[in-house]
Structure 1
Amino acid sequence: MKKIFLLPMLFLMSCEDVLKEEPKTLAVETFYNTKVEVEAATNAIYTPLRSSSTNGMGVYIAVLEGHIDYAFGRGSYAVLNNFQGLDNVNISRVSGAWEAYYLSIRNANLVIKNAPNGNAISKADVTGFVAEAKFLRAFSYFHLVRNWGGVPIRTEANMTEIDAKRNTVDEVYALILADLKEAETNLPDQVTQPGRPTRWAAKTMLADVYLQLTRFAEARDKADEVIKSGKFSLIPVATSDDFQKVFGPDLISTPEEIFYLKFSRQPAQGNLFPTLTNHPGTKFLGGGGGVFGLHGDNTNPVYKSWDNADLRKGIWYSWNIGIGATSLLSKKFIDPNSLEFAGAGNDVPWYRYADLLMIYAEAAGRAGSAPTAAAMEALNQVHRRAYGKNPTAVSTVDFKLEDYPTTAAFLNLVVKERGYEFQYEGKRWLELKRTGKAQEIILAAKGKTIADKHFLWPIPVSELNYNKAIDPVKDQNPGY
C-alpha cells in the first residue's frame, strides 16, 4: 500500500454551514497555541480539496474534462459535449466544488487569523504555516475566479460575515497575487512532508497566474527562476506504460512533482477521478471498477491526427463501453489494487515540471515580438520525453524554431502540445478559455459552437440563499 504523509480528512460541510459556523467551534482560545495544533488546523485546509465525495475534487475535474476537444462525457456528463451551458445535475456538481473551495478558504482564514496569537509556537513556525495557508487560499481563489469570474472575497478580516459582495475579477486576482508573493517569501525551500508546498510551488503558481493575466514577461521570468533552481526534472519514459512512473498510484513523490494533492488507498483517502475514466472489465481499477463517465473515440480528429509514435497516444486503448467499437479509454490514472469505489491512490498533479516548462515556453514565446530559442527548447523538452527521448538532448523529433517564426504560429503549437500532455488533468478547458482558442478548437474537433453562457458557471443557489449581499438576478452569471 502506498505509504505517504496524508493530511487528515474532516467532514465536508454544506455552504450554509461554512457561512454560519462560528470560529469558536474550533476552540480558537486554546487550539492555536502549539506547533502541533496549528499544523492540525493547516491540515484541515486540504480536507475539502482532497474530498473523495461525489461533489469533491474528482467530480470537479471530471466536469472540466467534459468540456474538452480530445474526449467526451458519457451519461450525465454527456450534456457537457453540447457546450450550451450546464444542466441541473452538473450545476449541482460545480456547486459542490464552490462549497469545497470556500470551506478550504475558511479553514485557511482561521490559520491566518489565529496562528500569530499562539503562545507556545515559534515565530518561524507561525510564518511558515501562515504562508502555507495563503498559498492554499490563493489556489482556491484561482480555481474560483477562472470558473465563475468575480466571486465574494472572504479573508480573515471578514470571515465571520455571511453577507459578502461579489468582488470583481481584478480584486480577486489582487488577493491571489498578494497571497502568493507572501508564500513565495516564507514557504520552505524544501518539501517538509509530501503534499506540502514550497516556495518553488508558489513561484510556479505565480507564473501560471501571470500567464492567465497576460503578463507574459513576468510569467516567463518567474517560471525561469524555478527552471534554473535545478530542483525538478522530467521523468524519462521508453514506453506508454512507463508513464505510470509519472502518474502511478504507488508513487510517493517524483522529481517532476511541484505541487500535487496527495491521495492513498486508505479508507476515505482515495481519489475519485479514476473511477470516472475506467471500465470494470479492464481490471485497471479495483474496488468495484469504474463508471467510465469520460471516454475517447478513435474517430475524433484530435486522436486521428495524433502521431502514432507519440507515447502519450499509447495511453489510450480501444474498449467498447456500450456505445460502439470506436470508443477509447485512458490508462493514465489507474489503480488495480484500489480497495474502494472512490479509493484510487493516484495523486492529482496540479503542478508538475511539464507544466512549468509549458508555462515558460508560452510566456517566453509571447513576451516579445517573436518566439525565442529558449521558448522552443522548453517545449521540446516535453515533446522529446513524449517520444521516449532524453528530454534535455537535441533529438530527431525536435520542433524547429524557423518553422514557427511568428507568435501566433508558436502559440498554436504550444496549445496543441498542451492538449496531448495534460489530458485528464483538469487543465485543458481552462487553457482553451485563457488563450481564446476554445471556439476554434472545439468547432474543429466536435463541430460545436460554444454558447456564451458556457464559459462561466452559475453562482450556486446555496450562496444566493444565504448571502444577501449578492443579488440573485443582477449578480448571477449570464444565462442562468
Structure 2
Amino acid sequence: MKRMTNYYRLLLGAFVALICPACESFLEEEVYTEYDPSKLLQTEEGINSVLVSAYGELQFKGNIREFNHTFAEFPTDIALESGGGFEREAILFVNFQWDDSHAFFSNSWSKMYRAIRNANSLLDNASAVTAIPEQRLAELIGEARFIRAAAYFHLYDLFGPVPLITTTETLDMEPRRPTEEAFAEFVTTELREAANVLPPIQDLKGKATKGAALAYLCKFLLNTKQWEQVVDVTEEIISLNRYALFPTIEELFTVDNENNSEFIFVHPYLPLSGNGNTYMAHAFPPNYPVLPNWENYGAQYRSYTSFVKSFHPDDRRGLMFVNEYTDTQGKQVLLLEDGAGKPLDNARSFKFVPDPAAIAAFHGNDCPIIRYADILLSRAEALNELNGPDGEPLDLLNQIRERAGVPLLTLDDLPTEEAFRDHLLQERAWEFFSEGLRRQDLVRHGKLIELARQRGKQAMPHHVRYPIPRRELEANSNLIQNEGYE
C-alpha cells in the first residue's frame, strides 16, 4: 500500500511539472449560463425578457404573505395569525419579537435587489441599443427605472435607506447606506423621470404606466411627509382622467371585476400553482365549506374583534368579514364574540372574494398595490396638513365614505387638523384592511408603538423599522444596522 501511495505521488508530481510551464494566463472559457447584453438587448424581445424577469422579482408572488400580511398587518391593530406551521413565524411579528436573523428579512431584501439588478442590466446597456425607435426605447428604459425605484420604495418601507446600487458594473462590493435626503432624492427623481416617458396604457396588466409611476411617487412623498409635493402629484394623477372609484366596494376584489379603473398598479395573479394569490387559503376558518377545488390551510389569518366592530352598521366594507358560519359538520361557529359577548379576535376578512376557478390554494385575484381611493385619501391628508380640513379634504374623504354607504362628515364632525388627521387614519384602516398598508400608515402617524403597547406588546421605538438582515451585515462591513438592533 505504501509503494502504491508513493507511486501516485510521483505521478501527480510529474503531471504538475508538465502543466505548470503553460500556466502563464487564466483559462478562457465560453460561458453559456449568462446572456450577452450587447446582443440580447439589441431587440425589443430581448429587452422584454429582462424586464419580465425584473417584474417577476418586484412582484410579491411567493412572498405575498410576508409583504402584505406578516410585515404590514400582523404588528398592527387590525390583524393577527395563528395555527399551522406558519404560526411559528407570524407570532414573532404579532408580538414584536423579530430580530435580524429572520429569513423573511433576508429573502425580501434579496428579492428586491434582484429586481434592481435586472433593471440595472438593461439601463447599463440602453445607450448601445440602435435597433429600436427612440420613443419606444425611452418607454422601455422608463419601465426599468420604475422597477428599480419601486423596489427601493419597498426596501425603504421595511428598512429605511438602503445602499443605492445603480449599475451592474460597480466595483464597490461593500456599498454604504445613503442619507435619508440622498435616498429620497434618488427615488423621487427616478419615479418622476419614469413618469415622463411611460405610456398611459400598457398591453399587459402589471406593467408600469405613467399613472403607476406617479402613484408610487405619491406614496413615497406621503410616507416621507412631503405634503406640498403630494398635492402636486395627486393633481397630476387626477388630471390623467383615467381613474375612478369602483361603484361597489364589496365587489371590487372579485376576479370578475379586477379589470377596473380604480386599480392603478397591481401584481397580477392566475389560479395556477406558483402564480396564484394564496390569501384565502389562510383566511378560511376551520371546516369552512370550501369548494372541492379550494384548499384550506391550517394557518389562520384573523381580524381583531375591536376592529371589525369599529365599522359603522351601514358600512358596506364591513360586509367583507365572515363573523360566523355553519361548518361542514352542521355546527354554527362564532368568530367575532362568544355567546357571552367575549371578543374572540377570530373574524375573517374575505376581501379577496374566493375565486371559483381556484386551484387548491391558488386564486386568481389580482393584488392591488396602489388604487385610486389611496390617491384621494393621500391628497386629503396632505391638504389637511397644509391648510386644515375645510373644503377639499372633507370632499375627498366623503367620496370614499359615500361609496361605502356611511354618513358623510361635516366640519362640525372634524373641526380641526388633528381631528381630521385622527379620523383619516381610521378611515384608511376601514378602506385598506388586508391590502398591506396599515403598518406604514401607523408609522407615518406615529401610532404603531403606542397602539401595540395598548395591546400589551413589548413594542419599542426602534420597531418602526425592521432590522437590516444579519446575512447582509456579515457580507458588507460598511452596512450600519438600524438603531435598536445593534
- The interval holding the TM-score normalised by the smaller chain is 0.7 to 0.9
Counterpart pick for 2:93 among 63, 72, 80: 80
**Cα distance in 2 for residues equivalent to 1:193 and 1:306:** 36
CA pair 335-94 structure 1, distance change in 2 beyond 3 A: farther
Contact map agreement 1:283 1:336 (CA 8 A) in 2: no
SS at match of 1:129: helix
Matched, 1:414 2:415: no
Map 1:411-450 onto structure 2 (within 5 A). Answer: 411-444=421-454, 446-448=455-457, 450=459
Counterpart pick for 2:175 among 154, 164, 189: 164
**Cα distance in 2 for residues equivalent to 1:364 and 1:417:** 16
SS at match of 1:419: helix
Contact map agreement 2:355 2:364 (CA 8 A) in 1: no
Matched, 1:386 2:404: yes
State the match for 2:220 in structure 1: 209
Matched, 1:312 2:317: yes
**Cα distance in 1 for residues equivalent to 2:397 and 2:368:** 19
State the match for 1:366 in structure 2: 385
| The structure with more radius of gyration | 2
Contact map agreement 2:385 2:417 (CA 8 A) in 1: yes
Map 1:21-420 onto structure 2 (within 5 A). Answer: 25-50=34-59, 52-53=61-62, 56-63=63-70, 64-74=72-82, 75-76=87-88, 77-83=90-96, 85-86=97-98, 91-156=102-167, 159=170, 161-237=172-248, 243-244=250-251, 246-279=252-285, 281-283=287-289, 286-298=293-305, 300=306, 302-319=307-324, 325=338, 326=344, 327-337=346-356, 339-368=358-387, 370-387=388-405, 397-420=407-430
**Cα distance in 2 for residues equivalent to 1:58 and 1:70:** 15
For residue 353 of structure 1, what is the amino acid of its counterpart?
Answer: Y
Q: Which 10-residue stretch deviates more, 152-161 or 119-128?
A: 152-161
State the match for 1:451 in structure 2: 460
For residue 73 of structure 1, what is the amino acid of its counterpart?
Answer: E
SS at match of 2:322: strand
**Cα distance in 2 for residues equivalent to 1:167 and 1:24:** 33
Q: CA RMSD in A?
A: 2.6
State the match for 1:17 in structure 2: none
The count of residues paired between Structure 1 and Structure 2 equals 435
Kindly state the Cα deviation for residue 40 of structure 1 after the two structures are TM-superposed.
Answer: 1.6
CA pair 126-479 structure 1, distance change in 2 beyond 3 A: same
Kindly state the Cα deviation for residue 204 of structure 1 after the two structures are TM-superposed.
Answer: 1.8
Contact map agreement 1:151 1:169 (CA 8 A) in 2: no
Contact map agreement 1:361 1:379 (CA 8 A) in 2: yes
In structure 1, list runs of 5 or more residues that go unmatched. Answer: 1-21, 388-395
Give the fraction of aligned pairs with identical amino acids, expressed as a percent.
26
SS at match of 1:259: strand
Contact map agreement 1:284 1:336 (CA 8 A) in 2: no
Question: What's the TM-score, normalizing by structure 2?
Answer: 0.83
Q: Which 10-residue stretch deviates more, 356-365 or 116-125?
A: 116-125
Kindly state the Cα deviation for residue 342 of structure 1 after the two structures are TM-superposed.
Answer: 4.5
SS at match of 1:462: helix
SS at match of 1:350: strand
Kindly state the Cα deviation for residue 354 of structure 1 after the two structures are TM-superposed.
Answer: 0.6
CA pair 134-274 structure 1, distance change in 2 beyond 3 A: farther
**Cα distance in 1 for residues equivalent to 2:461 and 2:375:** 30
State the match for 2:10 in structure 1: none
For residue 271 of structure 2, what is the amino acid of its counterpart?
Answer: R
CA pair 376-167 structure 1, distance change in 2 beyond 3 A: same
**Cα distance in 2 for residues equivalent to 1:234 and 1:427:** 18
CA pair 78-475 structure 1, distance change in 2 beyond 3 A: closer
Kindly state the Cα deviation for residue 144 of structure 1 after the two structures are TM-superposed.
Answer: 0.9
Kindly state the Cα deviation for residue 448 of structure 1 after the two structures are TM-superposed.
Answer: 3.5
**Cα distance in 2 for residues equivalent to 1:159 and 1:62:** 35
Contact map agreement 2:294 2:359 (CA 8 A) in 1: yes
SS at match of 1:25: coil
Contact map agreement 1:62 1:276 (CA 8 A) in 2: no
SS at match of 1:289: coil
Contact map agreement 1:52 1:342 (CA 8 A) in 2: no
Kindly state the Cα deviation for residue 336 of structure 1 after the two structures are TM-superposed.
Answer: 4.0
CA pair 449-310 structure 1, distance change in 2 beyond 3 A: farther
Kindly state the Cα deviation for residue 182 of structure 1 after the two structures are TM-superposed.
Answer: 0.4
**Cα distance in 2 for residues equivalent to 1:338 and 1:169:** 45
Contact map agreement 1:131 1:186 (CA 8 A) in 2: yes
For residue 432 of structure 2, what is the amino acid of its counterpart?
Answer: F
For residue 308 of structure 1, what is the amino acid of its counterpart?
Answer: P
**Cα distance in 1 for residues equivalent to 2:154 and 2:32:** 25
Kindly state the Cα deviation for residue 379 of structure 1 after the two structures are TM-superposed.
Answer: 0.9
**Cα distance in 2 for residues equivalent to 1:283 and 1:104:** 39
**Cα distance in 1 for residues equivalent to 2:290 and 2:433:** 18
